[in-house]
Structure 1
Amino acid sequence: MRHGSVGHLMKKPAKIRRVLITGVTGSGGSYLAEHILKHERGVEVHGLSRWRSTTQNLDTVSDRVNLHECDLLDFSSVLASLKEARPDAIFHLAAHANVRASFRTPDSVLNNNILGTSHLLEAVRLLKMNPIIQVCSTSEVYGQVDPKDVPIVESAPMRPVSPYAVSKTAQDMLGWAYFRSYGMKVIRTRMFTYLNPRRTDLFATSFARQVARIELGMQKVLLHGNLDSVRTFIDVRDAVRAYWDAVLYCEPGEVYNIGGVTTMTVGDCLKRLQAMSRKKIPTRVNPNLLRPADVTLQIPSVNKFIRATGWKPRYNFDDSLAALLDHWRRETRKDKAAAAA
């Protein structure tokens, strides 16, 4: 048996040979597919993808990912895809995940995220399958946190303040309900703020992209929303490794926070990027980027997850932020060259 960093004797890891990733073409799902294919020999990766989804994020591994055309809102396609994939583990990442946009299109976000999760869990039940299912939730479910609840433990009150967060809370509770009612092997994880170059709606990614555009003369001023929110950051590569460790070692029915160790305001994150820039970066608040209700004090306790898995982050914040900026410098050069062609 493997020992955790605090001396805890961890359970024998689950045997996983076939995995199914919902939202595999998205930002988190594609990084997870890459991680598994690079580090987990002999594991077959399947993914659900809607017909209109781009597979650009899977460019480096597309020949090794078995894609199944499926819309989680279409129950028959969910049944068919599960029968084809026959997974030992399911990572449920598919979601409408733009918090700010969820205030504009709440019905779409709620319908997609809740009904899609219900279809997935119900299909597994009806097919009498027994995979480990990880419902990949978010720290947004904790909402506006009382300072006395910091650092946030898994038993902290859930006070979601956006339609997106409400939908993820419902996903979380559906996972619990199917574990409790039917004995399905559902694990719930709540991911805190991560640095993900492929997720353009995240504030850090937006900042890095705008810095790169200003450096190349394609934009004059960096636009931002609320800079006062306090967040704890994790690199997406550490995040997807944590997802994998969760299905190996975590207990069905339990919920686990996953997050990094570097905490600062959104504004301080922006200042770090400005310091890395090759040019002065003027900034201005854009009222359209302000949410009707925002969250702060997103500071996790990940002790429960570490005890279960022995996981710890490998990438430090400054290296992750530099990698994020370098990614968008490369992408911006491509955009500028394409515009000039």
Structure 2
Amino acid sequence: MGHYNIRKVLITGIAGSGGSYLAEYIVNNHPEVEVHGVSRWHSTTTSDNLQDVRDQVIMHECDLTDFSSILTVLKNVRPDAIFHLASHANVRTSFATPLSVLNNNIMSTANLFEAVRLAEIDPIIQLCSTSEVYGQVSEEYVPIKEDTPIRPASPYAVSKVTQDLLGYTYFASYGMKIIRTRMFAYLNPRRTDLFATSFAKQVARIECGIQKELVHGNLDSVRTIIDVRDAMEAYWFAILYCRPGEAYNIGGNTVIKVGDFLDLLKKKSGTKIPSRIDPNLLRPADVTLQIPSIEKFHHATGWKPRYSFEESVENLLEYWRKKVREEMVLEHSVGGGR
């Protein structure tokens, strides 16, 4: 089972779009592992993400910006591994609320690492970083390797660079077993601020006749695509096989322009999907070319994606078609009861 014997894990941000898929992966594939998660006591919008595994995970109310609460959880749980996924992760919103994003993401990570140190535990820690740390990359650096210069282009990216550097610093200074993973674009049905999810949700709403046109931002960006379920399995592999102190790119093999992805969804729909650009969806500074080299991660872990691009797209569309239908039934039943 790799370099470590993992019997108890703690997932920060477990109720979020990524953390919930990670919890599902561990529960379904490693039933011998006890799964703990922390979720902010005032978080009310993501509880449904855990509906399939809620009875199989142990939840702890905790706000990572409150040092005492995370220290208490760590002393009680004493996990063998920590997956640190909790962050404010909406890139565009970070331009509107930069101080909130910076304060939350940086201090929550600093609190977590300090709490681990003071709790006198020695878990392996996966720090969920992002391709956004590289910023706008020139073609000479493509495919992007882990030693590509870091040039963050948003307040969110700055917060993730700081998390990344904190991870290395606590490894170098205190010997903490921290692995930094830099995830590139993925298809995640539960995260509506991602371009692909936003498109799929709007397509489903137009198909049901409750929205007239699809709105979008910049369509010229180039991304590689990976399924969120593959991404979460990759995090598990990282914990088992990657070297503490190192950074690893994780991403898919399918390279596609955002506009071409939208065209693909339109073709998959049996309904005409009118679309237009919404200036409010454009970022003050955008990152338009993100193609990773995942050679280092593959060499360390042997990991390969399980889901094809076609399977991922179908899963995304069907998730939102089902969800929109459920919302319509609920709205109708509520309206009929008046």
The C-alpha deviation readout for 1:19-69, integer Å capped at 9, x for no partner, is 000000000000000000000131000000111224210001101111111
Q: Which runs of 4+ in 1 moved over 3 A?
A: none
> Which of 22, 37, 41 in structure 2 is aligned with 1:51?
41
Counterpart in 1 of 2:328? Answer: 336
Work out whether 1:322 is the aligned partner of 2:314: yes
Q: Is 1:215 paired with 2:207?
A: yes
- Cα distance per residue 1:198-250 (max 9 Å; x no partner): 00110000000000000000001000000000000000000000000000000
* 1:37 partner letter: V
Unmatched segments (≥5 aa) in structure 1: 2-11
Decide which of 121, 125, 132 is 1:140's aligned counterpart.
132
Secondary structure of residue in 2 paired with 1:67? strand
Flag structure 2 segments of 5+ consecutive residues without an equivalent.
Answer: 334-338
Task: Give the equivalent residue in structure 1 for 2:170.
Answer: 178
CA deviation digits over 1:71-105, x for unaligned, max 9?
A: 00000001001112110000000000000000000
Whole-angstrom distance in 2 between the partners of 1:35 and 1:267: 31
- Percent identical among aligned pairs is 66
Cα distance in 2 for partners of 1:127, 1:61 equals: 28
Name which of 5, 18, 30 aligns with 1:40.
30
For 1:236 and 1:75, the matched residues in 2 are separated by: 30
Query: For 2:314 and 2:203, how far apart are their aligned partners in 1?
Result: 12
Q: Match for 2:25: what amino acid? A: H
State the number of aligned residues: 331
Residue 78 (structure 1) aligns with? 70
Aligned to 2:266: 274
Per the alignment, in what secondary structure is the counterpart of residue 301 of structure 1? coil
> What residue identity is the alignment partner of 2:325?
R
Equivalent residue number for residue 289 of structure 2: 297
> Residues of 1 paired with 2:238 and 2:302: CA distance?
10
Structure number with the bigger relative contact order (C-alpha 8 A, sep ≥ 6) is 1
Query: 2 CA distance for matches of 1:119 and 1:297?
Result: 33
Matched, 1:92 2:87: no
C-alpha deviation, 1:289, in angstroms: 0.3
Residue 15 (structure 2) pairs with residue 18 (structure 1): no
SS in 2 for 1:90: strand
2:121 pairs with 1:166: no
Partners of 1:86 and 1:278 in 2: how far apart?
Answer: 52
Q: Find out whether 1:103 has 2:95 as its counterpart.
A: yes
The residue aligned with 1:8 is none
Report the TM-score when normalising by structure 1: 0.96
State the TM-score, normalized to the length of structure 2: 0.97
2:213 corresponds to 1:243: no
